[in-house]
Chain A
Amino acid sequence: MDNFNYILPEIVIALGIMFLLMLGVFKKDSANLIQNISLIILIVAAVLTFNETLGNDPTLLFSKSVIIDYLSSFMKIITLLAASLVLIISSTYLKIFKIFKIEYPILILCSVLGMMVMISSNDLIVFYMGLELQSLALYVLATFNRDQLKSSEAGLKYFVLSALSSGLLLYGCSLIYGFSGSTNFDIIATQLNSQEYALTFGIVFILVGLAFKISAVPFHMWAPDVYEGSPTSVTLFFTMVPKIAALTVFIRFLYVPFLNLIDQWQMIIVFLSIASMLFGAVAAIGQTNLKRLIAYSSIGHIGYALAGLATGTNEGIQSSIIYITIYILMNLGLFSCLLMMKRNDEYYEDIHDLSGVSKNHPLLALSLLVILFSLAGIPPLAGFFAKFYIFKSVIEQSMYFLAIVGLLSTVIAAFYYLRIIKIIYFDKEKEKFDSDHSIWLKFSLTFSTILILLYFIFPSQLVEVVSRINII
């Protein structure tokens, strides 16, 4: 029974999903209620995770197939908090599109459950189970605005491509199982024989599958279409939450069973990283749809997070985690702004709709300014520190090429962020947007802006928390 104490958060969520489904079936017009209950469930789960596991030694459960350690707890808490913020700021949007239904929070809970399983997985099968659970929920979420052609298209595209990548991933798992005799990460680590090329193939297949999930180049093709087509609140979810889980699995997979094969996979990660950084920066220049632009920018940002992973050190992992945390914060702010761009119940998502916002909505413009400069990595904003840690750990390993490519793509990327700022601040103003936003939307925007802006005052708090994550 001891084991169950450790996975109490997952149990709470799983039971919560079942309860809410029943509630949704038997009680009419309960969307609001279910939304609130899901929120409570997420927060309870976060508190439980925080309480039970933070700071303990790594614990292996269920014949070593599930691991609870500092990394998993930290990532779970971030996932849960991000998911709950998505829930509270998306309700207005959903109501306007008349898709404020009971399924929305429940699907989010399902995918969060899947992610939590992924994050804790120490076994290929457990990992795959979690991955599929979250993916299935995400397919449905992408098509959530089913009357809209683009949304259905997004969901279908996501489903087909994602299924393909899951297939590759599964094939990789089977190769690894075949040549190491186990699906358990720890056992694989002891059974490794670097002479087996099939193992390398297995690693490559799994990496491809994972790279697809975090939309790293060259497996990014789905991201712009899906991000654009999905309802904005779902896009927000896509850009933040699944990436946390996928990155955790990336870390766990590369560093627990296959650390000794670092020579084999390091090149792959470096390539993924460089390609993503450059492609994300260059491809975003031509975009005018904000959601597509964010898709490309998120590809670029994933490139930076991967650069940290490529180093093969604890510092590298920590810098990746810091990066993804700060990135989520910035994305939250950015999407809060996006959700505020509405006029008479209609949302606008072209960058030229932001034209001259600084005159009509000075505070909104100021927040966007802070967030965009932070995304561009200009000091003293939080985004700079995120990149700073990445480059610090990359240069420690003397990977100068990676560092210089990364910094040059920062300059290229700065161009399109500046272009948005130019539209906001230098161009002629248009009609005002509505200003009757929900208090939560305002809260999440102010919250993220202030954190980004004042991060430089206490930059070491986050580092201290993250520095306790030691995988190697």
Chain B
Amino acid sequence: MDFPILSSLILLPAIGSIFLLFSKSDDKQTDTIKYVALFTSLVNFLISIYLWISFDSSISNFQFVEERNWLAGFVNYKVGIDGISILFIVLTTFITPLCIISVNNSVKIRLRDFLIAILIMESFMIGVFCALDLVIFYLFFEAGLIPMFLIIGIWGGPKRVYSAFKFFLYTLLGSVLMLVAIISIYWITGTTDVVKLYELGIDQKYQNLLWLAFFSSFAVKTPMWPVHTWLPDAHVEAPTAGSVLLAAILLKMAGYGFIRFSLGLFPFASEVFTPLVYILSLIAIVFTSLIALMQEDMKKLIAYSSVAHMGFVTLGIFTLKQQGIEGSIIQMISHGLVSAALFLCVGVVYDRMHSRLINSYGGIVSIVPKYSILFMLFTLAALGLPGTSGFIGEFLILMGAFKDNFLVAVIASLGVIFGAAYMLWLYKRVVFGEIINKDLLKMPDLDKSELIILISLALPTLFFGFYPEPLLNTIEVSVKDLIEMYKINLMTR
């Protein structure tokens, strides 16, 4: 048997966190603690890069599959990756070290516990993306609530308790129905193994209800309108690193779930409910963009923009066209990089000025030039300027949508314009204009660690904007196979 590389990816952060747990927690040793955490996550990143390199993107089967007995004769521990999941795993392992570097300024108390929470979170997130069994997937999907609840609740802002509860209960309520659906699938088909389920298919008469149960969970997590209200609260109150994890990776679990489970397992129901998803996505795109325009809190604005961007993602997934789904995946990766960067940008000024209100800034371009340049880059990437990764995603999604339904695509394109409006307006109000707030003059520019973080996020954003080939290559076969399987299922059953 081969070396269990996926399991070690999942376990490594957890092991690192055990080391941290037994280290001394006094404030003098914060450096050591941080290096241990950083080292763990970097090793994990290297492993995942190795995984990506050795991944064979020309075959659509699951690779690096590990399977062992777990729940006696019922659920096997099964993990494996295909072209879709590998990208999310790399994204996770890439974002986590950046989060750990970013704690320098933002986390003042209980650094050790914070790092433990982040590392445990990484374990769970990687687990979600490589689980090949519904129960295992559910396990990781739900388990992530615990560290995130603590991250928001302990290190968050003034309304943190409310936000943490809202986050936890919303997501839990969405997910329990998925658990019912998973167990029902077991009794209907006799297995919860995703690969086997792909082959077996699920009887058409059950699909609608099961689809809705999965949808309730993914819609909350995505989040789709009208169950998105937990997200702005959670983002605003979470510490910077928490917001980054939430926006960059947690939201992607749902998009991934839509592709892997809703499309893969319930083709008939997906066909039935596509109009519903279209409508909700369009509302999310247009409506939350308009809300974002009116926000005065920078973090809240970016949070609403996340909802709009995820609207594009769900739209693209349910176009069921090669371009649409590929676009959604790239949009998710790109949003992972860009929203992480934007939250970090907000974090940078928040750490200095302790305000997230847009009108307490203005004219900082001459005070912090480096910051302004990078912030500009990410603003443009967020609105989908050609040459950034954001463009590729939105472009492919719209292309898929045009193929499917002209009207939908037109309305969605409106969202792109609104996106440009709120992002540019935000940038204008924060960076340009006159300096009204005199305190801003004393604001230092980016320090070394912040520069490292933002540049390492900027590089892939630009690189994949000009040259998306590596991403597209990786997912192409898997997506094509998924769509083929979808169509065959529709025809034969």
Contact = CB atoms under 8 A, between A and B. Distances in A.
Contact of B139 (A380, A396, A410, A411): A380
A460 B154 contact: no
B173 A411 contact: yes
Q: Which 3 A-B pairs have the closest CB atoms?
A: A460-B72, A407-B176, A379-B139
A464 B73 CA distance: 10
B445 interface: no
B71 to A, nearest CB: 5
> What size tier do the contact residues of chain B reach?
20 to 34
Interface string B196-231: 000000000000000000000000000000000000
A428 interface: no
8 contacts: A379-B138, A379-B142, A388-B179, A391-B179, A392-B186, A408-B176, A460-B69, A460-B71
A395 B139 contact: no
B169 A415 contact: yes
A31 interface: no
B180 A467 contact: no
B172 interface: yes
Contacts of B143: 378-380
A466 to B, nearest CB: 10
A268 B329 CA distance: 51
Given A395-B187, A404-B180, 12 more contacts: A379-B139, A384-B139, A391-B180, A408-B173, A411-B173, A411-B176, A414-B172, A415-B169, A418-B149, A421-B149, A456-B139, A460-B69
B67 to A, nearest CB: 15
A425 interface: yes
Interface string B153-192: 1100000110011001100110011011001101100000
Contact of B180 (A395, A414, A425): A395
A463 B72 contact: yes
Contact of A418 (B168, B180, B187): B168
B165 A418 contact: yes
Interface string A395-409: 110001001100110
A426 interface: yes
A422 interface: yes
Contacts of B150: 425
Nearest to B139: A379
Contacts of B149: 418, 421
B145 interface: yes
A237 interface: no
B279 interface: no
Tell me what chain B mostly uses at the interface: helix, strand, loop, or mixed. Answer: helix
Contacts of A218: none
B169 A403 contact: no
A392 B186 CA distance: 9
A58 interface: no
B406 interface: no
B146 interface: yes
A55 interface: no
B70 A459 contact: yes
B16 to A, nearest CB: 17
Nearest to B180: A403
Interface in A456-472: 456, 459-460, 463-464, 467
A378 B173 contact: no
> A362, A379, A418, A421: which has the most chain B beta carbons within 10 Å?
A379
Contact of A426 (B135, B154, B183): B154
A421 to B, nearest CB: 8
Given A379-B139, A379-B143, A362 B25 contact: yes
Nearest to B176: A407
Contact of A410 (B146, B176, B186): B176
Contacts of A327: none
Contacts of A467: 72
A70 interface: no
B353 to A, nearest CB: 25
Nearest to A410: B176
Given A378-B142, A392-B186, A426 B176 contact: no
A66 to B, nearest CB: 32
A29 B139 CA distance: 53
A459 B139 CA distance: 13
Interface of A: 362, 373, 378-380, 384, 388, 391-392, 395-396, 400, 403-404, 407-408, 410-411, 414-415, 418, 421-422, 425-426, 456, 459-460, 463-464, 467
Contacts of A373: 146
B345 to A, nearest CB: 27
Given A362-B25, A380-B139, A395 B184 contact: yes
A333 B125 CA distance: 29
A414 B169 contact: yes
A268 to B, nearest CB: 24
Contacts of B177: 404, 407
Nearest to B171: A411
Nearest to A414: B172
A91 B179 CA distance: 43
A396 B146 CA distance: 29
A287 to B, nearest CB: 17
A373 B187 CA distance: 28
A384 B75 CA distance: 15
A425 B168 contact: no
A346 to B, nearest CB: 29
Interface in B352-410: none
A379 B145 CA distance: 9
Nearest to B168: A418
A396 B176 contact: no
Contacts of A463: 71-72
Contact of A414 (B139, B164, B168, B184): B168
A359 to B, nearest CB: 8
A380 B70 CA distance: 13
Given A418-B149, A463-B72, A407 B183 contact: no
B138 A460 contact: no
A320 to B, nearest CB: 16
A463 B73 CA distance: 11
Nearest to A408: B176
A411 B172 contact: yes
Nearest to B127: A380
A388 B179 CA distance: 8
A380 B184 CA distance: 20
Nearest to B141: A379
Contacts of B139: 379-380, 384, 456
A354 to B, nearest CB: 15
Interface in B49-63: none
A464 B177 CA distance: 28
Contacts of A418: 149, 165, 168-169
B304 to A, nearest CB: 26
Given A378-B145, A463-B71, A426 B153 contact: yes
A407 B180 contact: yes
Contact of B161 (A362, A388, A410, A426): A426
A278 to B, nearest CB: 14
A467 B186 CA distance: 19
A205 to B, nearest CB: 35
A403 B138 CA distance: 17
B85 to A, nearest CB: 20
Interface string B84-127: 00000000000000000000000000000100000000000000
B277 to A, nearest CB: 23
B434 to A, nearest CB: 40
A12 to B, nearest CB: 34
Nearest to B69: A460
A391 B183 contact: yes
A391 B378 CA distance: 46
Nearest to B173: A411
A28 B72 CA distance: 54
